[in-house]
Amino acid sequence: MSSDLSMILPRVVIVSRRTVRKNKFVDFVGEYHLDLIVRYGAVPVIVPRVSGVHMLLNSFQPIHGVLLCEGEDIDPSFYEQDIITTSGLSQEELDEIRRVHVSDTSIDKEKDSIELSLAKHCVERNIPYMGICRGSQVLNVACGGTLYQDIEKELPKCRPESETVMHINYDDYDGHRHVVKVVESTPLHHWFKDSLQQNGKMEIFVNSYHHQGVKRLAPRFVPMAFSSDGLIEGFYDPDNYNPEEGKFIMGLQFHPERMRKPDSDEFDYHGCPFAYKEFVKAVIVYEKRLNGLTYVQKPLKLNKEMEKKRNEIEKVKVNEEKEKMARNVMGKMSVEQLSDLLSFYHTMGHICCEVLETKINNHVNYDFS
């Protein structure tokens, strides 16, 4: 295994989701996410959804990017004080929602704590972040936004029936699509530009696996797409979006990684994988910038410079003369003196390593508290 730190790829943290298999919990992450992260040049680091992990997030440093994806509904207490009062839903309606969407409505507070902490960490430090589906909702909530408890029951109350959109279809789970209108001059517009020009409309068909969605968008974000019922299907932070500079903070309600033709790995649109491509591009730039700040790679550069100078010295035989002089001096020293000299340089080496490590750790202060 190479010890050259310059060969270590940037790290993208992904939080697992858990399910029950053979009467035990199993943590998992969708393979499409992992495949695209690796394809474009980063390494997925999976944070297990295990009790207490939200207190151990510093152990996953360095974090060069965060990708949060599918999962259960976010605990409403993180963004609304009273579910019934703020949502306008009756207790009977809430009970019906839990019956219809049983796999999504089982709240996982540990996952909520882990992911909200990571989202806030990214926003505060401008670490590249991409939220897919639930991950986009986590980002919005982390920045002060709110969610619809159930789109089907809440949106029709303020929209005409003709604009109703099916946002989840359990009978055609992966095949279901609905139209979204793409906002001009946004990253989404840029990624799908060729397809939008071909159909002559600012519209694409996206998949949909959710019964909740963004209600009030956090002020820092700008919408990138809307479904015909007015629901925000994508948003980003324009002040923190420039992959070439390591900036990327975005949420997509749909799953571009799963928008593929039936029984094929071919994407519905050429632009589908671009979100991952641009996200990883930002992660790579951020990692390089972080390494420069923390002096991780500077010792390597110094070693190369020293090696080059040493080769030059050997060519002109200067080093041989210095070595000869050192041997002559040491040859006149006693055993005790040589032992003391060796001990002195050994101690200096340990002290140098400790001081260097302290300086590096103090230079970048990671804090999830």
DSSP at 267: B
Q: Which of 233, 257, 278, 287 is catalytic?
A: 257
* 272 included as an active-site residue: no
Instruction: List, as one string, the DSSP characters of 116-179.
Output: HHHHHHHHHHT--EEEETHHHHHHHHHTT-EEES-HHHHGGGTS-GGG----B-GGGTTT--EE
Identify whether the C-beta of residue 191 lies closer than 8 Å to the C-beta of residue 213.
no
Q: How would DSSP label each residue in 61-73?
A: ----EEEE---SP
Active site residue 257: yes
User: Is-contact 21 262, C-beta < 8 A?
Assistant: no
Of 286, 292, 213, 223, nearest in space to 254 by CA: 213
Would you call 255 a catalytic residue per the annotation? yes
Q: Which SS3 state, helix, strand or coil, does residue 39 take?
A: helix
User: Could you give the angle at the alpha carbon of 73 between the alpha carbons of 116 and 141, nearest 5°?
Assistant: 35
How would you classify the pairing of strands 222-227 and 17-21? unpaired
Residue 137 Cα distances to 16, 19, 28, 29, 116, angstroms? 16, 21, 20, 18, 10
Question: Which entry of 69, 133, 143, 272 is annotated as an active-site residue?
Answer: 133
Among 101, 167, 211, 255, the active-site one is: 255
In whole angstroms, what is the distance from residue 268 CA to residue 341 CA?
Answer: 71
Catalytic annotation, residues: 133, 255, 257
